[in-house]
Amino acid sequence: MAEADLLAAGITPNQIRLSIGLENVDDLIEDLRLALEEI
């Protein structure tokens, strides 16, 4: 999303947007763990 659209939706730069589908829960946890190690 464009920055202006994010701000209009109340989403600020210091928030994390998380969209989850029907993936295996263990895969989701591992993906989150790896992503959080990067920040």
Q: Does residue 33 surpass a pLDDT of 90?
A: yes
pLDDT at 21: 83
Contact 22, 28 (CB under 8 A): no
Written as one letter, the residue type at 10 is G
Written as one letter, the residue type at 39 is I
Whether pTM exceeds 0.85: no
pLDDT level of residue 7 (50, 70, 90 thresholds)? very high
Three-state secondary structure string covering the chain: CCHHHHHHCCCCCCCCCCCCCCCCHHHHHHHHHHHHHCC
pLDDT level of residue 25 (50, 70, 90 thresholds)? very high
For residues 2-14, give the mean pLDDT: 91
Domain tally for the chain?
A: 1
Range of the domain at 24: 3-37
